Structure 1
Amino acid sequence: MTNSVSGWAPRTPDELRPWIAGIKALAVEEADPRKPFVQLPDPTTKVIVRSEGRGRPTLLVSGPRVRAAYHAGKRQVSCTEVRLAPGAVRPLLGVPAVDLVGRIVPLGALPGQAARQLAYELGRLEPEEVVARLADVLPGLLPTAVGGTRTELLRAAVAALSVRSGHIPGHVREVARELAVSERQLRNLFSEGVGLSPKHYARIDRVRAVLAHATELASAELAAVTGYYDQSHMTSDFRTLMGVPPRSYFTGRLPAPRACQVIDSQ
């Protein structure tokens, strides 16, 4: 048996863009428990609406994930992942992003009034209904767009440290200097609004870029355009975050799958 997985990215409504960086939907119809599902390192915090079989959905918040995880597959699972924009975690969930690193928490257990209201609004929906309902209720829960000087600085720094077409990410010291803040101030901004240090955010973003473009470019060129010093530097970072070197990963020699992470109710 092979895993049967379908995924798609619903359009993020304009009224959600101050808070939402993107939305992803995933459905698993059949799964081979011997073949792991890979959860990539991810610097973002996500609200997840997850359904298994015909049961009621589970509403979760998944904090930034600093390393890849390999899990055994489950059948008939569908979920919608709502990725929060930098600086949106505390206004929506009531906690700084750093408090959620490596954790999976029930949405309704978080202290933010908006989080509790979202848990109520989304608790009886199918995953495919989530986006439309978010567009209806979220602007009312957060009537003032996420903004201000701190958030603007944070988002400018995130953009400067991210790999994107035609842009090689800068180093943390350079980005701090360009934004006229100290490296300590930049670390504080990232801790509050992203959950990771600027250096760790950039490290995860580079590895994700390598994964996204590995079939398009030779290794040396890929290392250069993603901001690594050289191919050896790229391989070392990849091994640390993914648990295996690039060659092993791309030829399917993956770590043994483990049970899914336990939900933290605290």
Structure 2
Amino acid sequence: MTNALAEQALPVPETVRPWITDIASVRVTGPLEDSFTHVPDTATQVVVRVGADGRRDMMVVGPRTRAAYHADADKQVVSCVQVRLGPGATRPLLGVPAVDLVGRVLPLRELPSATARQLARALADLEQEEYAAHLAATLPSPATPSRDRLLRAAVAALSTHHDRTPAPVQDVARELAVSERQLRNLFAEGVGVSPKHYARIHRVRHVLTHATTAPWAELAAATGYYDQSHMTADFRTLMGVPPRAFFTGRLPRATPCQATRHR
């Protein structure tokens, strides 16, 4: 996030937390840089972009398995709202498994579910401060079948936190009394990436957040890597450059961002 962007967390009603984990409002407050970075992300998002002419684009942004570096930032966008869907929410709300959205950006209205089409119509007219109340009033009551409970437990076990590193995939499968194949199927449907890749993305995002708080070797150990070289190799795979290069601005060549241009 650059100084030209101001981000604000919007309230998420408790009734929709099984569907939605976060809602963020991002506004352009100054000149944008010529290039920008999209870091890997395991969440599917519904994004509402508002242009300088007031036009709104309602999009679905699927999980990103690797970082992307784009040139020609869209200077016509003045704000956006990002609604992050929770594990297992993609098919019930959007009508497709999460794995079908990996690396893709699609108009929300083109998703097959009635909920997606209703959201596209509503978000075209509502103000940002009305989003939370509308979601609480219109999203269906979430069911909690055993598959959803398994997925959420697995996601929690494979996530990186400041006081806990992700558990090995085989240990998570054994603890939940499922096979590793069943666990992979759960993640493909409900998250979009494999359990192993989910854990890798979360470790790298943890490094991105805490890189200035500890020496590399200490950060590697605290994040669950075998050693610093393991962290560097994983970071390079997902971010395209090793940590030192990334944090000193030596980034891969930026490419034009075609997927998110106005149609």
Q: TM-score, normalised by structure 2?
A: 0.92
Aligned partner of residue 87 in structure 1, secondary structure: coil
Q: CA deviation at 1:146?
A: 3.9
1:80/1:130 contact within 8 Å kept: no
Query: What's the counterpart of residue 38 of structure 1?
Result: 37
Q: Deviations over 1:140-186 (max 9, x none)?
A: xx13x142100100010000000113211111111101111000000
Distance 1:37 1:146 in 2: 38
Q: Which one-letter code corresponds to 2:203 in the other structure?
A: R
Matches within 5 A, 1:102-181: 102-138=103-139, 142-143=140-141, 145-181=142-178
Q: CA deviation at 1:55?
A: 2.6
Aligned partner of residue 9 in structure 1, secondary structure: strand
Aligned partner of residue 23 in structure 1, secondary structure: strand
Deviates more, 1:172-181 or 1:71-80: 71-80
Query: What's the counterpart of residue 97 of structure 1?
Result: 98
Q: Deviations over 1:110-157 (max 9, x none)?
A: 11111111111111234454333323322xxx13x1421001000100
Q: Which one-letter code corresponds to 2:190 in the other structure?
A: G
In structure 2, the CA distance between the partners of 1:229 and 1:18, relative to structure 1 (3 Å rule), is: same
Deviates more, 1:116-125 or 1:93-102: 116-125
Q: Which one-letter code corresponds to 1:243 in the other structure?
A: G
Distance 1:10 1:178 in 2: 35
Distance 1:243 1:8 in 2: 29
Q: How many residues align?
A: 258
Query: What's the counterpart of residue 256 of structure 1?
Result: 253
Q: Which one-letter code corresponds to 1:248 in the other structure?
A: A
Q: Which one-letter code corresponds to 1:39 in the other structure?
A: H
In structure 2, the CA distance between the partners of 1:146 and 1:56, relative to structure 1 (3 Å rule), is: farther
Q: Which one-letter code corresponds to 1:20 in the other structure?
A: I
1:41/1:65 contact within 8 Å kept: yes
Query: What's the counterpart of residue 84 of structure 1?
Result: 85
Q: TM-score, normalised by structure 1?
A: 0.91
RMSD: 1.8
Matched, 1:239 2:215: no
Q: CA deviation at 1:256?
A: 2.9
Can you give the 5+ residue segments of structure 2 that lack an aligned partner in the other structure? none
1:9/1:25 contact within 8 Å kept: yes
Deviates more, 1:188-197 or 1:248-257: 248-257
Distance 2:218 2:257 in 1: 35
Query: What's the counterpart of residue 212 of structure 2?
Result: 215
Distance 1:165 1:5 in 2: 26
Query: What's the counterpart of residue 229 of structure 1?
Result: 226
Structure 1 moving runs of 4+ over 6 Å? none
Distance 1:101 1:79 in 2: 21
1:186 to 161, 183, 187: 183
In structure 2, the CA distance between the partners of 1:253 and 1:126, relative to structure 1 (3 Å rule), is: farther
